[in-house]
Amino acid sequence: MKNIYYLFFLCLSLVSCAEDDKESFNLILNQTSWSGELTLSNPEEIVYNINIVFETENSGEYYIDKFIPELPFSYKTTLKYKIDSKIILIEGGYNNILTGYWWVVSNDENRLILKRNINTEQDCDTLDLIKLI
């Protein structure tokens, strides 16, 4: 009788583990608008106000609020993106400052924190965004 109880609890625990494995990270950005700060860390830390709109499942645009002609990138441009689990690859656009692999560090319904170049602390850039729509 003890063996039956043991097998029952073993099967029950395996089923509950299988349910946990099925949970996956699901980030959907299309048709959303975000506002926040872009912090660039190399060669020195600079913070920009940024607005990002993810229009479709793979394209969008961003706008940096304070246009400075000396910026080495475009203050407004389109972008292409692809979500792969907890990484967002951003490409495209003219001198796109957001180009690269962004790691999702934190994600809840209204706030998204992304980091790029996470392997080196001094070069690590951060996008801290609040959802508008």
Q: Quick one: pLDDT at residue 125?
A: 96
Query: How far apart, in whole angstroms, are the C-alpha atoms of residue 97 and residue 62?
Result: 10
Asked if the model's pLDDT at residue 18 lies above 50, the reply is: no
* 6 in a structural domain: no
* 3 in a structural domain: no
Q: Quick one: pLDDT at residue 44?
A: 86
The answer to whether 77 and 99 are in contact (CB under 8 A) is no
The answer to whether 127 and 114 are in contact (CB under 8 A) is yes
Query: How far apart, in whole angstroms, are the C-alpha atoms of residue 53 and residue 65?
Result: 14
Q: Quick one: pLDDT at residue 76?
A: 87
Neighbours of 133 (CB within 10 A): 7
Structural domains of the chain, count = 1
Q: Quick one: pLDDT at residue 75?
A: 83
Span 23-80, pLDDT tens digits: 567 899 999 999 999 999 988 898 999 999 999 999 999 998 766 677 777 788 999 9
Asked if the model's pLDDT at residue 22 lies above 90, the reply is: no
The two counts, helices (H) then strands (E), for the chain are: 1, 8
Q: Classify residue 29 as left (phi > 0), alpha (psi -120 to 50) or beta.
A: alpha
Q: Quick one: pLDDT at residue 94?
A: 79
* 25 in a structural domain: no
CATH number of the domain at 61, please.
2.40.128.20
DSSP lists the bridge partners of residue 54 as: 32, 60
* 101 in a structural domain: yes
* 5 in a structural domain: no
Span 97-122, pLDDT tens digits: 999 999 999 999 899 999 999 998 78
* 62 in a structural domain: yes
* 110 in a structural domain: yes
Asked if the model's pLDDT at residue 10 lies above 80, the reply is: no
Query: How far apart, in whole angstroms, are the C-alpha atoms of residue 81 and residue 54?
Result: 9
Q: Which domain holds residue 126?
A: 32-131
Kind of pairing, strands 125-131 and 111-116?
antiparallel
